[in-house]
Amino acid sequence: MEHGAAVLLELGGVILGLGILGRLAGRLGLSAIPLYLLAGLAFGEGGLLPLVTAKEFIEVGAEVGVILLLLLLGLEYSASELMGSLRAAAPAGLVDLALNFTPGLVAGLLLGWSALAAVVLGGVTYVTSSGIVAKVLGDLHRLGNRETPVILSILVVEDLAMAAYLPLITGLLVGGGLLVSVLPVGVALLTVAVVLVVAVRYGETLSRLVFSPSSEVTLLVVLGVALVVAGLAQQLQVSAAVGAFLVGIALSGRAAEAAHDLLSPLRDLFAAVFFVFFGLQTDPRSIPPVALVATVLALVTAATKIATGWWAARRIGVGPRGRWRAGTALVARGEFSIVIAGLAVAAGREAELGPLATAYVLILAVLGPVLARTSEPIRVGLGRLLTAPARRRSARQPADAWRPREP
């Protein structure tokens, strides 16, 4: 069989299979990420049907997928909104870091890994999946809930923390040492500051230059700029994903709205390819030995995320129901956790890290949406046992967690 025909057959089979898995996930009411990871395990070395010719194309598509994930996330925020959220969410962000980075760090050290590998695992357990959370909030019609701004603020703090963490950990993984890694971290933070200042002052002008009445032109310009900036960021030893995120932040108004609508289908396609590629790099036979550790770590960090959301929502006066919803919405891990683990896998660090991260994300990508959907019935059941007197006293008062967010 000719090489071109073989590539098309394999690639077409992979994309068709992902479409079927996505439909199945929708029927089950779950995120498709765990199914995509399972597909990667099936198509990789040691799987049921290993790919032969399309793997190189999928690798490039995976890089584009990460860039589009972060670009679309950046389009959700304006620079002024982002800066305001950072100021308000700083205490919650510190609690989030302490409660959710520590379990991964401690687990890595207990497993006998190097300090660097333990720091990588801490990053894997720290960051919530923005993609899964956004989908869950939309599906459950909670975007107007009083606790939702708290959830989004925590996500923004985590995403910006990645702007420092990713270049630092990348430099350390390639063997540059801490002092050498400080430079790209400084460059990353300086770049973030410069982009935010430019976006606040000149965001409308930049958006007018990018926007075009032609959907084709807008798509090509925004995607081209994102890829160029991501490439330049990579050359400067700054994460390409962070560069794409900053492009999204810099755009606003009609340009951001048009770009979001045009790029969403591409993001969904290449993000699925990215998760498949991570699965391709993991031998499924390596997962059973780490399954128990992944399960324990998942349960511990699910509890710490719920505690984070509960505490953050309580700070602004959200009622118990809203606190439960905020906590359970933050449980899922996904794209960033895979990106972080992928850096370590590519650098040849700790053979168990890839399988452990894959199993960990699989568990929480399923558990997170399930907990978010069932948090209301769980809270009601607990309330009947624990807070009946308080509910009777406040029966005439409206539940503050159900009020729509004030403008």
For residue 400, tell me if it sits in a domain.
no
pLDDT in tens, 25-57: 888 777 777 788 788 878 776 666 666 666 777
Question: What residues have CB less than 8 Å from 49, skipping those under 6 apart?
Answer: 42, 43
- Produce one character per residue of 188-225: b if its CB has 16 or more CB atoms within 10 Å, e if not: beebbeebbebbbeebeebbeebbbeeeeebbebbbeb
pLDDT at 301 over 90: yes
For residue 315, tell me if it sits in a domain.
yes
For residue 376, tell me if it sits in a domain.
yes
- The reported pLDDT for the residue numbered 328 is 94
User: Average pLDDT over the chain, rounded to whole?
Assistant: 78
Instruction: Tell me how far CA of residue 176 lies from CA of 168, 172, 237, in angstroms.
Output: 10, 5, 11
- The reported pLDDT for the residue numbered 393 is 44
Residues 217-239: what's their mean pLDDT? 81
Which of the pair, 376 or 368, is modelled with greater confidence?
A: 368
Q: Are 124 and 357 in contact (CB under 8 A)?
A: yes
The helix (H) or strand (E) run that includes residue 20 is helix 3-28
pLDDT in tens, 350-368: 778 888 988 898 889 888 8
The per-residue DSSP string of 212-223 comes to: -SSHHHHHHHHH
Total number of domains in the chain: 1
- The reported pLDDT for the residue numbered 47 is 63
Is the pTM above the cut of 0.85?
no
CA 209 – CA 196 distance, rounded (Å): 18
Find, among 182, 152, 156, 154, the residue nearest to 167 by Cα.
182
- The reported pLDDT for the residue numbered 125 is 95
Tokens of 299: 């349960």
Alpha helix ranges (H) inside 29-54: 33-43
pLDDT in tens, 378-390: 444 444 433 444 4
In terms of average pLDDT, the best of 17-31, 34-48, 171-185 is: 17-31
Q: Are 275 and 358 in contact (CB under 8 A)?
A: no
Of all residues in the chain, what percent carry a pLDDT higher than 90? 16
Q: Are 151 and 328 in contact (CB under 8 A)?
A: no
Residue with tokens 């995403």: 159
Q: What is the span of the domain harbouring residue 154?
A: 59-270+287-352+363-384
Q: Are 100 and 308 in contact (CB under 8 A)?
A: yes
- The reported pLDDT for the residue numbered 231 is 84
pLDDT at 404 over 50: no
The per-residue DSSP string of 273-327 comes to: HHHHHHHHTS-GGGSGGGHHHHHHHHHHHHHHHHHHHHHHHHHTT--HHHHHHHH
For residue 122, tell me if it sits in a domain.
yes
Find, among 36, 73, 49, the residue nearest to 272 by Cα.
36
Residues 321-333: what's their mean pLDDT? 92
**Lowest-confidence pick of 59-63, 137-141, 330-334:** 137-141
Residues 160-185: what's their mean pLDDT? 67
Which residue type occupies 26?
A: G
pLDDT at 110 over 70: yes
Quick one: pLDDT band at residue 121, thresholds 50, 70, 90? very high
Three-class DSSP category at 14: helix
In terms of average pLDDT, the best of 42-46, 127-131, 161-165 is: 127-131
pLDDT at 309 over 90: yes
Q: What does DSSP assign to residue 175?
A: T
For residue 291, tell me if it sits in a domain.
yes
CA 334 – CA 132 distance, rounded (Å): 7
Alpha helix ranges (H) inside 76-147: 79-110, 115-126, 130-139
Quick one: pLDDT band at residue 394, thresholds 50, 70, 90? very low
CATH number at residue 304: 1.20.1530.20
Question: What residues have CB less than 8 Å from 250, skipping those under 6 apart?
Answer: 74, 79, 195, 198, 199, 203, 206
Which residue type occupies 250?
A: A
For residue 390, tell me if it sits in a domain.
no
For residue 37, tell me if it sits in a domain.
no
Find, among 144, 173, 136, the residue nearest to 334 by Cα.
136
For residue 89, tell me if it sits in a domain.
yes
Find, among 211, 201, 271, the residue nearest to 241 by Cα.
271
pLDDT at 327 over 90: yes
CA 251 – CA 78 distance, rounded (Å): 7
pLDDT at 332 over 70: yes
